[in-house]
């Protein structure tokens, strides 16, 4: 497996690849969730390129960019063991040329809600860097986790609207034994916080059973999710029940009309921000 840090070197490696190429964009600090994306990518393509890049433009001024976990040596070993063809780990200056004026992607309106409301400008940064990686790596397909549900919806919109020739493969969320969604940020939780972090998963499961029991008022379900998250000593950033494709707010959660719904939650535990979601299908 190769490791390259420059766009020129990546392009040379890319040109030498024949067959289908899958891209797995990550910010590193890889865990089993990321590795499952590589597994899916390997079933869909002949070669897998993993990008490892902590993208500064998707972090707000007061967010955790500086302390985001970085361990390229460990990431490279994990990618190799998982069967990736190569890793692209560029510097910030390689991705954002210091002398070139910024060109932004105009993101859809839904990007201003949920994560975007808590993290203004987040999806501008995400779409900009993902489009750069698509242009640099020219993949046939790219794998994204459902763990970041809103991100997946926005990337799918960008690909469709800008006619990008990349298939998007959504991948299931990988969880710890108790149901906590794996995240690079989980390592910052102390024992007590780790025990309570499961509150997000409990809130989502309760949302599902309320809907299955016939609750049709989204506000009632959202309030119940918030209560559960707070009971686990977390601040609620949002607890929302939305349309699964558009992420628009629902007047009524009638699954016979809308097919399915998605519950999305984000909570803060001390300085650690966690998010999760659950698609609610009819029983």
Q: Rounded to an integer, what distance in angstroms lies between the CA atom of residue 13 and that of residue 283?
A: 48
Which H or E run contains 208? helix 199-212
Sign of CA dihedral 238, 239, 245, 248: negative
User: What single-letter DSSP state applies at residue 198?
Assistant: T
For residue 92, the Cα-to-chain-centroid distance in whole angstroms is 20
Least distance (Å) between residue 183 CB and ligand AMP: 6
Least distance (Å) between residue 269 CB and ligand AMP: 17
Nearer to ligand AMP (CB atom), residue 137 or residue 182: 182
First to last CA, the chain: 45
Write out the catalytic residue numbers. Answer: 34
Nearer to ligand AMP (CB atom), residue 211 or residue 238: 238
Residues 154 and 126 sit within 8 Å (Cβ to Cβ): yes
Residues 15 and 136 sit within 8 Å (Cβ to Cβ): no
Least distance (Å) between residue 283 CB and ligand AMP: 25
Nearer to ligand AMP (CB atom), residue 85 or residue 183: 183
Bridge-based pairing of strands 272-280 and 261-269 is antiparallel
Least distance (Å) between residue 237 CB and ligand AMP: 17
- Residue 61: partners with Cβ closer than 8 Å, 6 or more residues away: none
Which H or E run contains 246? none
Q: Which residues bind ligand AMP (CB under 6 A)?
A: 26-27, 33-34, 36-37, 144-145, 147-148, 171, 173-174, 181-184
Structure tokens at 244: 């699964």
Nearer to ligand AMP (CB atom), residue 88 or residue 144: 144
| Burial degree of 194 (CB within 10 A; 0-12, 13-18, 19+) | middle
Nearer to ligand AMP (CB atom), residue 183 or residue 250: 183
CA dihedral 38, 41, 45, 46 (to 10 degrees): 10
For residue 204, the Cα-to-chain-centroid distance in whole angstroms is 17
Nearer to ligand AMP (CB atom), residue 179 or residue 224: 179
Least distance (Å) between residue 36 CB and ligand AMP: 6
Least distance (Å) between residue 145 CB and ligand AMP: 3
Structure tokens at 66: 């500086």
């Amino acid at each position: 497996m190769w490791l390259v840090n420059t766009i020129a070197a990546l392009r040379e490696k890319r040109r030498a690849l024949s067959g289908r190429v899958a891209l797995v964009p990550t910010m590193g600090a890889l865990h089993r969730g990321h590795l499952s994306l590589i597994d899916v990518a390997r079933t869909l393509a002949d070669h897998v390129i993993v990008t490892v890049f902590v993208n500064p433009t998707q972090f707000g001024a007061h967010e955790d960019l500086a302390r985001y976990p970085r361990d390229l040596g460990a990431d490279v070993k994990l990618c190799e063991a998982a069967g990736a063809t190569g890793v692209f780990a560029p510097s910030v200056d390689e991705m954002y040329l210091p002398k070139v004026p910024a060109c932004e992607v105009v993101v859809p309106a839904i990007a201003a809600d949920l994560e975007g409301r808590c993290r203004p400008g987040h999806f501008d940064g995400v779409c900009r860097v993902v489009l750069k990686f698509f242009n640099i790596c020219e993949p046939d397909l790219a794998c994204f986790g459902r763990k970041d549900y809103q991100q997946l919806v926005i990337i799918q919109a960008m690909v469709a609207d800008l006619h990008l020739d990349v298939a998007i493969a959504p991948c299931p969320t990988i969880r710890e034994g108790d149901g906590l969604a794996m995240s690079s940020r989980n390592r910052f939780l102390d024992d007590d916080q780790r025990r309570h972090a499961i509150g997000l998963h409990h809130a989502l499961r309760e949302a599902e059973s309320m809907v299955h029991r016939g609750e049709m008022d989204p506000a009632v379900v959202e309030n119940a999710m918030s209560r559960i998250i707070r009971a686990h000593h977390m601040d609620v950033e949002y607890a929302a029940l939305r349309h699964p494709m558009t992420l628009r707010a629902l007047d009524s959660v009638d699954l016979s009309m809308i097919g399915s719904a998605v519950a999305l939650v984000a909570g803060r535990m001390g300085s650690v921000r966690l998010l999760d979601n659950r698609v609610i299908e009819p029983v």
